[in-house]
Amino acid sequence: MRYDSITEAIGNTPLVRLDPAVHGLRHIDLYAKLEMLNPFGSVKDRPAWNMARPLLEAAAGRGETVVELSSGNTAKALALLAGMHGLRFKSVTNRMRVPEIKELLLLLGAEIEELPGQSECLDPTDTDDPLTRFHQALAEPGSAYLHTDQYFNPRNTEAHAAGTGPEIVKDLDGRAPDWFIACVGTAGSSTGVARVLREHDPEVRVLGLVAHKSDFIPGIRTIDEVHQVGLFDPATYDTIESVTSEEAIDGMLTLIRRCGLLSGPTGGAAYQGAIRHLRVADAELTDPERRRTAVFIVCDRAESYLSYVRQRRPGLLGQPRRGHSAAALTGAEVEAQAKVIGVDGARRWLADGAPPPLVVDLRGPHAYAALHIEGSVNIVDELFEELVRGGLPFSKRRPVLLACPVGEKSARYAALLTRMGHPDVRSLAGGIVAWRDAGAPLVRE
């Protein structure tokens, strides 16, 4: 294969049938669409190129910088595309949570700006959010940026409607699969592929997968965040289900160790979510003559997620389980053990508690500096995770109120500290966002 540009190698990714002895489905052939084999490494190569391509030449003439709100694969692809066209690339995000990806982006020449966003994902209705304000400024005339705008740009979806979807149909001999399963980040891939598949067969069932509440799977949204995504349309999906980080890692292990596919966590989540869903349907299928098909996307590769795996399953990387870990708690454990308090209750507790609780704000330092509950201390969640590994960092006599952006991470730590024997740790329900929305006082550094 000979190319004049690496961009010509984007797309035409393999569709690989998985061994039924591994997944155990009796009547359904399960295929993996290997978007991880795109040249820049992920499902985002197609939209990044499709969004940037028409604008790059003019941007180069004006010396603009390519910019995107991405902490992962879109940023990777855009950094490479910008470099090829002599442009600079800037990634603006809430906070880079996967250190390998941050380092890789720096290696690719990206500038990284971490703004104190309220959540992992841009909420366009939240005009106080610095990420939203930055996003709005990019649309103003005279901006020195080429902004690809992945959360709102229809060219994101179209890249998959023009490429990923038709390739699946072609590789299935002109037919749509019975099921299509995809993890939802910007919703570009699931929306674009679903549209094409339904044109071939309106009966195709589309399963969208998101991360379980209070959990983190890099690249995709939680069920609460997904509604903030501009391209997300609930009508695209017949079903939306959530997947935990444990399931994502389990799925990754099966794909890697049994199927020869070097998948990252969202490929694992898609596999595990697909199997969980299809097992039910498979049990009801009786006609041995009529085989069904299902396709899921493997979005990227495993190598960038070693620290993610190490934090959750150190044993897999030959390390002993290192003390207490909030990341290792299951969603069910968090729900069962976290004590949660609403804004009104928390305000009364702070005013009347004897002693009042120590407020620990788990957000990043920028967000804390911008606005926080008076008297709170700031320990960013990664540091807090390290701190609690060795034991309880507070006296059991002092109650503790934990706060984070939306109350998900704080619930995790509240569950962990309760499990470690602290008698009164509570998580602020809805986090600092709920506190602010209720008009409760916040101070600036």
Ligand X SMILES: Cc1ncc(COP(=O)(O)O)c(C=O)c1O
Q: How far is the CB of 43 from ligand X (least distance, A)?
A: 5
Smallest gap, in angstroms, from Cβ of residue 263 to ligand X? 10
Backbone phi and psi for residue 329, each to the nearest 5 degrees, phi listed first: -70, 145
CB of 9 to ligand X, least distance (A): 19
Residue number of the CB closest to ligand X reads: 219
- Kindly report the backbone phi and psi dihedral angles of residue 181, in degrees, each rounded to the nearest multiple of 5, phi listed first: -125, 130
Toward ligand X, which CB reaches closer, 124 or 353?
124
List, in sequence order, the alpha helices (H) in 215-342: 223-226, 245-259, 265-284, 306-312, 331-337
Residue whose CB is less far from ligand X, 192 or 399: 192
Provide, rounded to whole angstroms, the least separation between the CB of residue 187 and ligand X: 5
Residue 174's CB is within 10 A of a number of other CB atoms, namely 8
Question: Parallel, antiparallel, or unpaired for β 15-17 and 28-34?
Answer: antiparallel
C-beta of 48 vs 294, nearer to ligand X: 48
CA dihedral (68, 236, 31, 196) in degrees, to 10, reads -90
Q: Which is nearer to ligand X, 7 or 93 (CB)?
A: 93
DSSP summary character for residue 90 = E
Residue 269 beta carbon to ligand X: minimum distance, rounded to whole angstroms: 8
CB of 70 to ligand X, least distance (A): 7
Question: CA 251, 252, 257, 260: dihedral to nearest 10 degrees?
Answer: 110
HEC string for 235-253: HHCCEEEEECHHHHHHHHH
**Whole-number Å distance between alpha carbons of 76 and 105:** 6
Q: Is 409 helix (H, G, I), strand (E, B) or coil?
A: helix
Residue number, 82 or 98, with CB nearest to ligand X: 98
- Determine the 3-state secondary structure of 77 from DSSP: helix
Which one, 74 or 245, has the nearer CB to ligand X?
74
Q: Nearest approach, Cβ of 120 to ligand X (angstroms)?
A: 11
Residue 46 has phi, psi (to 5 degrees) of -65, -55
Q: Least distance (Å) from ligand X to the CB of residue 189?
A: 3
How far apart (Å, rounded) are the C-alpha atoms in residues 383 and 392? 14
- Minimum distance, C-beta of residue 323 to ligand X, in the bound complex (Å): 29
Which is nearer to ligand X, 204 or 434 (by Cβ)?
204
Dist CA 253 CA 256 (whole Å): 5
Q: How far is the CB of 279 from ligand X (least distance, A)?
A: 23
Task: Please count the other Cβ atoms lying within 10 Å of the Cβ belonging to residue 141.
Answer: 4
Kindly give the residue spans of alpha helices, DSSP state H, lying in 260-376.
265-284, 306-312, 331-337, 343-352, 365-370
Compare residues 186 and 254 and give the one whose CB is closer to ligand X: 186
Pick the closer one to ligand X by CB: 71 or 410.
71
**If you compute the radius of gyration of the chain from its CA atoms, what whole number of angstroms results?**
23
Cα–Cα distance measured from residue 279 to residue 25, given in angstroms and rounded to the nearest whole number: 7
Q: Are 274 and 238 in contact (CB under 8 A)?
A: no
Rounded to the nearest whole angstrom, what is the least distance from the CB of residue 17 to ligand X in the complex?
A: 21
Taking each helix axis from N to C terminus, what angle separates 73-84 and 99-107, rounded to the nearest 10 degrees?
A: 10
Q: Which is nearer to ligand X, 183 or 259 (CB)?
A: 183
Q: Closer to ligand X by CB, 72 or 331: give it.
A: 72
> Given the rule CB under 6 A, which residues bind ligand X?
42-44, 72-74, 183-190, 219-220, 264, 266, 299-300
